[in-house]
Amino acid sequence: MLRMKTADVVTGLVLCILGIAMVIGGYTMDRLEIRSIHPASIPGLVPMILGVLLAICGALLTFTSLNKSYKFDIDVDDPKMLFTALGLCLGFALVLLGWIPFAIATFIFITLASYFFRESRGETTKDKALTFAKSIAFAAIMSAAISALFRYAFLVRLP
C-alpha cells in the first residue's frame, strides 16, 4: 500500500508552486499596448487565471491531506492501470492528435479511458456493453464540449 497522505501533500505543494510560477510567467509576458489592444486581452491572462486556480486546488489538496481524519490508501500491486493510462495518453498525443480531427481524437481517447478505468473484472458481457455505451455517451458530450470551449471561448483553431 502506498500512503496517499504523503503523496497528496507533495503533489499539493508541487501544484501550488507550479500555479504561482504560471501567475508570475503570465504577468511578465509582453503586453500589447503598442498595438492599442485592450489591457484585458493580455496574452498572459489565461495562464494567470489557470495558475491561480491550480494554486488554489493545490492548497486545498495539501490542507485536506494534512487533516488527521484523512485515511486513503491505494493498491498499486497491479501496474496494469499505470501502463494503460500511459498507453492511452501516448496514443492520444502521438498517434491521434494531428492525424484526425481534434473532436474525433478526443472522443476516442475519452471513450477508451472511461471504459478501461470504469470496467470491473467480474462483470458480465451485458454489464460490459452497458459500461461501454455509457463511455460512448460521456465521450460524445465531453468531446463536443471541449472542442466548443477551445474553438469558441479560447478562439483556438483546432486540427
Summarised one tens digit per residue, pLDDT across range 19-47 is 999 999 888 877 666 667 766 667 777 88
Start-end of H helices in 28-98: 45-65, 80-90
pTM: 0.60
CA torsion sign, 86 to 61 to 26 to 49?
positive
pLDDT of 158 reads: 77
Phi, psi of 68 (to 5 degrees): -65, -25
Q: Which ranges of the chain have pLDDT less than 70?
A: 1-4, 31-35, 38-41, 69-78, 119-122
pLDDT of 76 reads: 58
CA distances from 68 to 64, 71, 94 (A): 9, 8, 42
pLDDT of 59 reads: 92
Could you give the 3-state DSSP secondary structure of residue 97? Answer: strand
Q: Which residues pair with 2 in a beta bridge?
A: 74
pLDDT of 122 reads: 63
